[in-house]
Each structure stands twice: as C-alpha cells, then as structure tokens.
Amino acid sequence: MHEREFWQLLDEVFGHAYGRSLAKDEHLTKLDSMTAAQALEAGIKPRVVWNVLCDQMEIPDSRRWGSAHNAPPMPPMGRIGDQG
C-alpha cells in the first residue's frame, strides 16, 4: 500500500472531512499514541497505520478496503511500529 492509497481509502471509508479529522486528531494507542498523520510522517508503513486506525475505530475487514481495493499483504515487522 502506498501513502496515496491510504488517503484514498480514508476518504472512501470515513468520508473526506471525518477521515481527515481522524488522521490528525485520533491518537493510535498501538502506535505510541501518534496520530495517523504523525505515524505516516514518522515512516510507519501506510498499511500498518491503516490497519491500526481501522482496528481502533472497529471497522470490520469487510468495510476497511473500500469497494475497489484488495487487501495488500501485511509487511513483516517485529512490533507494530517497526519498519521491518
């Protein structure tokens, strides 16, 4: 997943305004309380950030990939914030 796809899915799943608000305001406990925007800026893979955000917001797998997206494989990692 590329960062561009993260933002596209954010808009599709949450709506543009709410999604952008989540990305800058929702602190992700599994990512050291960073927001999604901070996590992406810190270099955490977009796929990891997306899954953590969706898990925290209780978005089921059936909804988190939008209508035209296939779930990409998870990157290898030691702990949730590692870059592998």
- Domain boundaries defined on the chain: 3-64
Q: Summarize the confidence of residues 4-23 as an average pLDDT.
A: 95
pLDDT in tens, 26-80: 999 999 999 999 999 999 999 999 999 999 999 988 888 877 656 555 555 555 5
Global confidence as pTM: 0.78
Q: Determine the residue type at 56.
A: Q
pLDDT at 84: 41
In the chain, how long is the greatest CA-to-CA distance? 33
pLDDT at 32: 95
Instruction: Report the first-to-last Cα separation within the chain, whole angstroms.
Output: 15
Beta strands 34-35 and 27-28, pairing class = antiparallel
